[in-house]
Amino acid sequence: MPIKTSLAAHGIACQRGGRLLFADLSFTLQPGEGLLVTGPNGAGKTSLLRLIAGLLPLAAGSFASGDESVPLPELCHYVGHANGIKSALTLQENVAFWVDFLRGGDADLDDALAMFGLEGLKDLPAGLLSAGQKRKLALLRLFAAPRPIWLLDEPSVSLDAASVKVLDKAIARHLAQGGIAVVASHTSLKVKFAHELALKRETVQ
Amino acid sequence: MREAWALFRRDVVLAWREGGTIGTALGFYLVVVAITPLGLGPDLNLLSRIAPGVLWVALLLAGLLSADRIFHNDYEDGALDVLATGPLPLELVAGVKSLAHWVTTGIPLALLAPLLGLLLNLPIESFPLLVLAMLAGTPAVSFVAGIGASLTLGLRRSGVLLALLVLPLYVPVLIFGVATVSAASVGPASPWPPFLILCALSLASIVLAPIAAAAALRTALR
C-alpha cells in the first residue's frame, strides 16, 4: 500500500526558452484527489508534470508534499511521451529493473501484466512490441513500485478502447486507495477528477 | 545498493545485447593498431619503441567510440527520466553507468592490448605491466568520457564534439600510461611511479567525474 501524501503548489511559474508558460499557479491536492490538466498544445501541460517530477527547475514558487522526509521526485511516477523502456530487454527484464531500481516490493506484477493483456509476452524483447503495447509496458511502471503521486502525460495515447478502460480503472483504484494523480489528457478519461486545471496559451507577441 | 546493482547489471546486459558497443571498440582498436606498422614500415626497433604510445592512443580513441552510449540511449528513450526520479542520486547514476562502460569497454580493451602488442613487437616481458597499466588507467577513460557524454546529450552528431571535449582531458592518462609501459619495455626508469600516478588519476576521476556528469545531466533534462 503506497504511503499517503498531499501535494501543494504555491505560486509556481515555468519558463521555457525565455517564454513564460504560466505563472502564479497554485493548487492543493489531498490524498485521493486527482487533477486533470487540460489546455491546447504548448500550454505547458508536460512542463507542469515535469516540474512536479523535479525534471525541470521552477522559475518561481514551491511545491510541498505532506511527507517532508522523502524528496518530492521520489514520491512521483512520471510517465511521459517517451516510454522509457529498453527495447533490447524483455518485458520481464524491463519490469524487473524498475522493481529493483525504484525500490518496489513484491508487487503483484503478474496481475498488472494480465490486466493489460501482456502476460503472454513476458519473454519478448520490448523492441518488438507495438506502440500501444509499449505504452502499456511503460504504464506498468506505476505498479512496479508503489508511489503515491502519478504524473501521467497523455497516458491514453495509442491505447485501444479496452486498455483505456483498464487505465481508467487503475487510476480510479489508485485514487480510492488515497493516491494522487495528475493527468494531462486531451481525450476524456472517465475517472472523476476532483480538480481540473485549464492552462491557456499566452498569446505570443 | 540494490538499485545501483540493478542499474549496473542492466547497462552491462544492454551493452552485450545491443551489439556494436564492445565489438566496435575492440575491432577499431585492432584495426588502428594493425595499420600502424603498414604506415611506418617493418622497422622492428622503431615499432617496439613507439608501441606503448600507439597502444595507448588507439585505446583512448576506441574507448571514445562507444562513450556517447553511456547516456545517449537513455536520454532518447526517456529512461533517463526514470533514473532521475529514482532513489539514487544522479551522481551515483552517472558513476554506475560510467563503471558499466569501463567493465564493458575498458576491461576488454585492456585485455586485448597484449595481443596487439605482439603486432608492434613490444617485448613480451612488459605484457603484464601493459595490462596492469591499462586496467589502472581505463577507469579514468570511462569516467571522463561520462562527463563528455552528458555534456553532449541532445546534440546531433555529438560524437566529434565529444572527442574534442574529452581528448584533451585524456592527456595526463596518456602521458603516465605511456611512461609506465615504456619504462617496463625499454627502461631504464622504474615503471611504478608513473603507474601510481595513473592509479591516482583513475581514483580522482571516479570520485570527481560523476559530480560533473550529474550536473550536465540535470541541464540536459531541462
pLDDT at A202: 66
Distance (Å, whole) CA A146 – CA B135: 41
For residue B222, which residues of chain A lie inside 8 Å, CB to CB?
A: 55-57
Average pLDDT over residues A188-194: 79
Among A142, A133, A68, residue whose Cα is nearest residue A102: A142
For residue A54, which residues of chain B lie inside 8 Å, CB to CB?
A: 84-85
CA atoms within 13 A on the CB side of B11: 30
pLDDT at B23: 85
Q: Model confidence over A6-15: pLDDT tens digits?
A: 888 899 988 8
A20 grid coordinates: 513564460
Distance (Å, whole) CA A10 – CA A13: 9
Contact B51, B120 (CB under 8 A): yes
CB contact under 8 A, A82 and B81: yes
- Closest CA–CA distance from residue B21 to any residue of chain A (Å): 13
Neighbour tally for A141: CB within 10 Å: 25
Q: Model confidence over B164-182: pLDDT tens digits?
A: 999 999 999 999 999 999 8
Residue B93, strand partner residues: none
For residue A2, pLDDT beyond 70: no
B41 grid coordinates: 614500415
Among B4, B29, B56, B68, residue whose Cα is nearest residue B174: B56
Splitting chain B (222 residues) into consecutive groups of 10 residues, what average pLDDT does each group show? 91 84 88 91 88 94 87 89 90 95 93 92 90 94 94 83 92 94 83 93 95 92 82
CB contact under 8 A, A53 and B87: no
Closest CB to A97 among B6, B73, B84: B6
Distance (Å, whole) CA B212 – CA B219: 11
Q: Model confidence over B140-168: pLDDT tens digits?
A: 999 999 999 999 987 877 778 898 999 99
Neighbour tally for B107: CB within 10 Å: 17
Which H/E stretch holds residue A184? Answer: strand A180-184
**Average model confidence (pLDDT) across chain A:** 85
Nearest chain B alpha carbon to A72: B85
pLDDT at A107: 63
Q: What is the distance of C-alpha A8 from the center of its chain?
A: 16
Q: Which residues of B touch A (CB under 8 A)?
A: 2-3, 5-7, 10, 13-14, 17-18, 73, 76-88, 221-222
pTM: 0.90
Q: Is residue A125 classed exposed, middle or buried when 0-12, 13-18 and 19+ CB atoms within 10 A define those classes? A: middle
B24 grid coordinates: 566496435
CB contact under 8 A, A55 and B84: yes
pLDDT at B221: 84
Average pLDDT over residues A168-196: 86
Average pLDDT over residues A39-51: 88
Instruction: Provide the residue count of chain A.
Output: 205
Q: Residue A106: pLDDT band by 50, 70, 90 thresholds?
A: low
Closest CB to A100 among B3, B13, B85: B3
pLDDT at A204: 46
Distance (Å, whole) CA B178 – CA B57: 9
ipTM: 0.86
Q: Model confidence over A82-103: pLDDT tens digits?
A: 888 898 898 888 988 998 898 8
Domains defined for chain A, CATH in brackets: 7-198 (3.40.50.300)
- Closest CA–CA distance from residue B131 to any residue of chain A (Å): 32
